[in-house]
Structure 1
Amino acid sequence: MNLDFLGRGWSFPPDFDKSLPGVAMLEHEADIVASLQTLLSTSQGERAMLPQYGCNLDDLVFENLDTGTKALMADKIETAILYHEPRIELESINLDDTRELEGVVLIEVVYRVKTTNSRFNFVFPYYRLEGTDLDLGVTVNLLPEND
């Protein structure tokens, strides 16, 4: 079976291995997974040469995680995959919000590779509260004590 359609590309972020000449490469299904990871974590306009590339999930960071927001999130993902990942056929998008209070939504993308008819799933962790790993249980007293 010819898997050339699945492609070959740089790993992202680029990785340079001193034992091999050049940059680390990904091919076939691994290249598709890396492409999905990049697509879902990129905002439109972020790439100068491909301004329409991306998913814009960052627009939803401060929204309430209600049914409407979940539907909008799934629609953004579906549209981005439709326009920017021609090697796969999207089967479903499932949002796992059981860790919502921790600021995490797990996005499961179930897809089929068109040329091989192989079925895969990809889980993308979407962090709604990026950079909030502070210990909020500590009280700091900044006022001097009166004796």
Structure 2
Amino acid sequence: MADSFLGTGWSFPPTFDSTANSVIMTSDEADIQFSLQILLATRKGERVMVPDYGCNLDEMLFEPMTTTFKTYIREMIKTAILYYEPRIDLSSIQVDDSRETEGVILIILNYTVRTTNSRFNFVYPYYKKEGTEIH
């Protein structure tokens, strides 16, 4: 994994291998997927050394699902990826609100890895409700 040209990083969530006393690493396209998940789940200001890193999607929790709201989400994600994920070219962002009554909005990213010219997609579930099925 050390010679990966797309990068190598910790798996997400961080997982440890007790037999080798090491952190489990991910590389290439999987590392990009984990990076996107971390980028979308991080609030701006959460990382002390990079205060502009993140998306602040949690601020949109109680907003009504309007065209303006969807456009705003797309632009926030587009800007975050532009600045913090240089390994990909974003093709499209779709906001699927068909499950809004259940409290789930799916954010679908279609992108191309610049180095390999391979196309991928990433689906990020954005939950508008808290977990209420805990007894």
1:69 and 1:117 map into 2 onto residues whose CA distance is: 31
What per-residue deviation string (whole Å, max 9, x for no partner) do you get for residues 58-95 of structure 1?
A: 11101001110000011111011000000000000011
- Match runs of 1:73-112 below 5 Å: 73-112=73-112
After TM superposition, where is structure 1 displaced by more than 4 Å over at least 4 residues in a row? none
Matched, 1:57 2:60: no
Match of 2:116 in 1: 116
Equivalent pairs, count = 133
Aligned-residue sequence identity (percent) comes to 58
Greater fraction of residues in strand: 2
Which residue type is aligned with residue 114 of structure 1? R
Q: TM-score, normalised by structure 1?
A: 0.86
Q: Distance in 2 between matches of 1:5 and 1:84?
A: 17
CA distance in 2, matches of 1:106, 1:45: 24
Across the aligned residues of Structure 1 and Structure 2, the Cα RMSD in angstroms comes to 1.5
Give the whole-Å Cα distance in 1 for the aligned partners of 2:116 and 2:80: 22
Q: Normalization by structure 2: what TM-score? A: 0.93
CA contact (8 A) 1:17 1:24 kept: yes
TM-aligned CA deviation for residue 134 of structure 1:
6.9
Where does structure 2 lack aligned partners over 5 or more consecutive residues? Answer: none
The answer as to whether partners of 1:5 and 1:87 remain within 8 angstroms in 2 is: no
Structure number, greater radius of gyration: 1
**Unaligned residue ranges in structure 1 (runs of 5+):** 136-147
| Deviations 1:80-111 (CA, angstroms, capped at 9, x unpaired) | 10000000000000111110000100010000
Alignment partner, residue 130 of structure 1? 130
C-alpha deviations, 1:19-70, integer Å up to 9, x for none? Answer: 3331000100000000000000001001111111001111110100111000
1:7-26 alignment, distance < 5 Å: 7-26=7-26
